[in-house]
Amino acid sequence: MRNIPEKPSIDGLEERWSARWEADGIYRFPADASRDDVYSIDTPPPTVSGSLHMGTVFGYAQTDAIARYQRMKGKTVFYPIGWDDNGLPTERRVQAYFGVKCDPSLPHEDGFEPPARPFDPPRPISRRNFIELCHILTEEDEKAFENSFRILGLSVDWTHLYTTIGESTQEISQRAFLANLERGEAYAQEAPAMWDTDFQTGVAQAEMEDRERPGAYHRIAFHRQDQEPIYIETTRPELVCSCVALVANPEDSRYRDLFGRSVSSPVFGVEVPVVGHHLADPEKGSGIAMICTFGDTTDVTWWRELDLETRAVIGRDGRFQEETPEWIESPQGRAAYAELAGKYVNQARRRMVEMLQDSGDLEGEPRPITHAVKFYEKGDRPLEIVTSRQWYIRNGGRDADLRGELLARGTELDWVPDYMEVRYRHWVEGLTGDWLVSRQRFFGVPIPLWYRLDEKGEPDYSDPLTPHLSDLPVDPGSDVPPGYTADQRGAPNGFVGEYDIFDTWATSSLTPLIAGRWGQDDALFKSVFPMDQRPQGHEIIRTWLFSTVVRAHHEFGSLPWTRATINGWILDPDRKKMSKSKGNVVTPDALFAEHGADGVRYWATSARPGADTAYDEGQMKIGRRLAIKILNASRFVLGLADDVAPEAVSQELDRAMLARMAEVVGEATSAFDHFDYARALDVTESAFWSWTDDYVELVKSRAYGEGGDAASAQAALQLSLSLFLRLFAPFLPYVTEEVWSWWKEGSVHRSPWPEITEVAHLTGDPAIMDITAEVLSQIRRAKSDAKVSMRNPVASVVVADSPSRLEAIRAAEADLAEAARAERIDYVEGDFEVRTEIAAPM
């Protein structure tokens, strides 16, 4: 009747059961769910470039354990998944793979076929064609990712798969932005912004990082009217030509008499004012600094607050502009600038230093230092500050009220672990400007706007043309705004499309809306939003988490989810975040093959929520061993007898064991309710090993029917096995499902989470279990010391202990004697001691 394999194995369970789960649709989200019954998870869409990273496996396995627990608790779990295929990494791969480059001004080419080999030289194609190629290239990776996730055993609903470049996503992204625009939360501005000269795009504050770079202080003389030198120190001497003022602290007596006067710049002879500002630090350098437009973000602050001129010299390509600026008037100055024109920053710096040395305005040698320089996190060259027209979404960076509201959202959110909230708070408190969402790139969601052209063909940016919502998604590079015809593109009194696209985060910030099909499936959205859980890594609190909060706050006046669970990182043996560049790349698929998906999941779910964790294959081996043990122990229990009614449990030891089981169920449930899946696993695992080592050994003979109450032991074993399988199911979905299938109908993953009430009426004094196990352990020790087999008979055992404990042992005497192979057990009162007299070997 039970179909138990002769030699059970955990190999091959992944393919078999993942296919079965999909065929049976056991993780499918029903169309008619009501919000109260739903547990919804805003799963991170992993970036699909290259192979699945172990860090991803780590975090997703943890979330999956929680999802499975909630499902077994009776929740209707909404567990969608997406692929983040939108953005620069894909764009770069497509360019190289097909030999194309995107020219958004080109019209869409119908029937464009991807080339068999890359075009050489690269062929320009329209943005829409380019995006089609991105789809083609990412499709393969997405298949591989999906397969890995299925093997890992994620209980996601694959019918709710989305991609961040997909049409439905673009529609939502554009519609959400148009709503922001209409409410005034989105705006465009011509302003200095951080700019990557390689990628030639603006960059948001959240995407910048500091890197330590060698630099040098150059002590440079400006000159007063009386030719007296005023020394400034700068790491960027090449920007002397864009200097608009010198600045010192108003309290600084050394420079007080200079305020309001002007000095002339070396080499160029441009007169600039000397101004005072509290941000000027008397301790830094010579206490007086040159303000350039723009060398760093402090320059922008000074420029804005002191209302200074704009003298930009570095172009979007990172080179000094060709034409000599009009503010350099002297012939020598203009000649000097010609030396810099067209040069990149580093070349210009070297030439400028030479010119300063020649003119005698560089005092001493440059003094080498190491300083932090801002980089785009994906870039290789320091960011420059370039004035450009960019789109922004208000995020509280320039508005104290909004900032306060967003800080309140951070407090409202339930953080697991709770100390992660400070990262959010510090980020929001430290914002210096609104969120720059436009990118001068191609592979992303287009900003859905056009601009009117006047009679001279000049665009009017003040009043953009917007699409009909029913036409979304649109590509303004190839689609035409309402009321216009295609031939009016670029013509006087016609229109021009917005070239920019949204930053990846501008779309990723909408994942709860995308997964919930906001505005596309109202019933679904209503049943899942706001979501219950956002799982993610701590390094993207400032980006993904914060931006999602901003969008939900603007659109719904609520949080996007009630709880954020923050997972840690995988650290390599050097205690650094594990990264592909380190070389020791292990693909998850290889680990699944070696340790089983259950083994890998065991490692991931052993880690505390939020804790950075060492990459440890040893831990996976332990998980694999546990899975095998479950298989074998189950085979033993289920091979003993057919189902025995729970009421058959009568023996004290059996009741004691079930009392311990009730405690385990309580502790594991409580741990899960606090999102501490690791503790739930730990509690269950320890109990399981005691169960096999002690309880199973104690009752084995009786359960075989070799004396005593066999039915009681069999019923207790079956009851406890049922509990263990369900307690382990969120962690080890394959082995538990396999065993469940030998025995029960349906999936263990759709069966109810264990309740204490299942065994509460069958429990006894748990101390009997503990004390009996303790005595058995002492007898084993004696055998081990005597270097004899555990099956070696024992002539006599004398247990000394307190009367109450002796009574407990007596309650299990028959089982204990049988397990110990003891002919007799005697009892004396006293301090705990077990005297064992080993019999001669048989």
Considering only residues 697 through 736, tell me which ones interact with RNA, judged by CB under 7 A: 697, 700-701, 704, 706
* Nearer CB in complex with RNA: 22/594: 594
Interface stretch with RNA, choices 128-136, 283-291, 397-405, 828-836 (CB under 7 A): 283-291
* Nearer CB in complex with RNA: 187/689: 689
Place of tokens 């216009």: 484
Output the CA–CA distances (angstroms, integers) from residue 824 to 795, 808, 842, in the order listed.
7, 17, 17
Helix (H) or strand (E) holding 801: strand 794-801
CB of 92 to RNA, least distance (A): 22
* Nearer CB in complex with RNA: 175/534: 534
Q: Choose, by CB under 7 A, the member of 123, 608, 810, 835 that binds RNA.
A: 608
197 binds RNA, rule: CB under 7 A: no
Residues ≥6 apart with Cβ < 8 Å to 466: 178, 181, 448, 449, 481
* Nearer CB in complex with RNA: 306/614: 614
Q: How far apart are CA 677 and CA 674, in angstroms?
A: 8
Do 376 and 208 contact (CB within 8 A), yes or no? yes
Angle at 144 between CA 143 and CA 148, to 5 degrees: 120
285 binds RNA, rule: CB under 7 A: yes
Output the CA–CA distances (angstroms, integers) from residue 70 to 28, 39, 79, 313, 576, in the order listed.
14, 7, 11, 59, 33
**Within the chain, what is the greatest distance between any pair of CA atoms?**
114
Residue type, 158: W
780 binds RNA, rule: CB under 7 A: yes
Binding residues among 317-336 for RNA as defined by CB under 7 A: none
Q: Choose, by CB under 7 A, the member of 47, 129, 169, 234 that binds RNA.
A: 234
352 binds RNA, rule: CB under 7 A: no
Q: Choose, by CB under 7 A, the member of 38, 54, 176, 232 that binds RNA.
A: 232
* Nearer CB in complex with RNA: 182/209: 209
Residue 121-160 contact track with RNA, rule CB under 7 A, x = bound = ----------------------------------------
CB of 630 to RNA, least distance (A): 9
CB of 89 to RNA, least distance (A): 18
User: Two tokens at 681?
Assistant: 């696993």
Q: Choose, by CB under 7 A, the member of 14, 64, 185, 296 that binds RNA.
A: 296
CB of 562 to RNA, least distance (A): 22
* Nearer CB in complex with RNA: 30/404: 404
Binding residues among 237-256 for RNA as defined by CB under 7 A: 247
432 binds RNA, rule: CB under 7 A: yes
CB of 764 to RNA, least distance (A): 22
Q: How far apart are the first and last CA of the chain?
A: 39
Binding residues among 660-689 for RNA as defined by CB under 7 A: 679, 682, 686, 689
Total binding residues for RNA by CB under 7 A? Answer: 93
* Nearer CB in complex with RNA: 453/771: 771
Binding residues among 537-556 for RNA as defined by CB under 7 A: 538-539, 542
223 binds RNA, rule: CB under 7 A: no
Binding residues among 45-74 for RNA as defined by CB under 7 A: none
Do 567 and 555 contact (CB within 8 A), yes or no? no
Binding residues among 200-219 for RNA as defined by CB under 7 A: 205-206, 208-210, 215, 217
Output the CA–CA distances (angstroms, integers) from residue 304 to 277, 291, 308, 310, 423, in the order listed.
12, 11, 7, 10, 29
Interface stretch with RNA, choices 50-58, 453-461, 462-470, 786-794 (CB under 7 A): 786-794
CB of 396 to RNA, least distance (A): 14
CB of 722 to RNA, least distance (A): 16
Q: Choose, by CB under 7 A, the member of 330, 332, 584, 632 that binds RNA.
A: 632
Interface stretch with RNA, choices 68-76, 625-633, 725-733, 740-748 (CB under 7 A): 625-633
Q: How far apart are CA 70 and CA 88, in angstroms?
A: 36
Do 640 and 611 contact (CB within 8 A), yes or no? no
* Nearer CB in complex with RNA: 150/821: 821
235 binds RNA, rule: CB under 7 A: yes
Phi, psi of 573, deg, nearest 5: -60, -20
CB of 526 to RNA, least distance (A): 35
395 binds RNA, rule: CB under 7 A: no
Q: How far apart are CA 637 and CA 199, in angstroms?
A: 64
Strand ranges for 16-94 from DSSP E: 38-40, 76-78, 81-83
* Nearer CB in complex with RNA: 122/287: 287
613 binds RNA, rule: CB under 7 A: yes
344 binds RNA, rule: CB under 7 A: no
Q: How far apart are CA 105 and CA 103, in angstroms?
A: 5
Alpha helices (H) along 746-839: 766-785, 803-811, 813-820
Do 151 and 589 contact (CB within 8 A), yes or no? yes
Q: How far apart are CA 313 and CA 319, in angstroms?
A: 8
* Nearer CB in complex with RNA: 69/294: 294
Report the DSSP pairing between strands 81-83 and 161-163. Answer: parallel
3-state secondary structure of 759: coil
CB of 569 to RNA, least distance (A): 7
Binding residues among 365-394 for RNA as defined by CB under 7 A: 369, 371-374, 383
Interface stretch with RNA, choices 86-94, 427-435, 488-496, 761-769 (CB under 7 A): 427-435
CB of 340 to RNA, least distance (A): 19
Phi, psi of 119, deg, nearest 5: -65, 140
CB of 301 to RNA, least distance (A): 7
* Nearer CB in complex with RNA: 316/577: 577
Do 541 and 424 contact (CB within 8 A), yes or no? yes
* Nearer CB in complex with RNA: 228/377: 377
CB of 330 to RNA, least distance (A): 24
612 binds RNA, rule: CB under 7 A: yes
187 binds RNA, rule: CB under 7 A: no
Residue 570-589 contact track with RNA, rule CB under 7 A, x = bound = -x-x-xxx------------
CB of 480 to RNA, least distance (A): 41
* Nearer CB in complex with RNA: 479/694: 694
Whether cis (ω within 30° of 0) applies to the bond prior to 588 is: no
Q: How far apart are CA 399 and CA 87, in angstroms?
A: 29
Q: How many CB atoms lie within 10 A of CB 697?
A: 18
Sign of CA dihedral 491, 493, 499, 501: negative
Phi, psi of 234, deg, nearest 5: -145, 150
Q: How far apart are CA 654 and CA 583, in angstroms?
A: 53
Query: b/e map of 188-226 (b: 16 or more CB within 10 Å)?
Result: beebbbbbbbebebbbbbbbbeeeeeebbbbbbbbbeee
CB of 674 to RNA, least distance (A): 11
* Nearer CB in complex with RNA: 520/579: 579
Three-state SS string over 726-756 comes to HHHCCCCHHHHHHHHHHHCCCCHHHCCCCCH
802 binds RNA, rule: CB under 7 A: no
* Nearer CB in complex with RNA: 452/538: 538
Picking from 767, 835, 755, 776, the residue whose alpha carbon sits closest to that of residue 804 is 767
3-state secondary structure of 126: coil
Q: How many residues does the chain have?
A: 842
3-state secondary structure of 79: coil
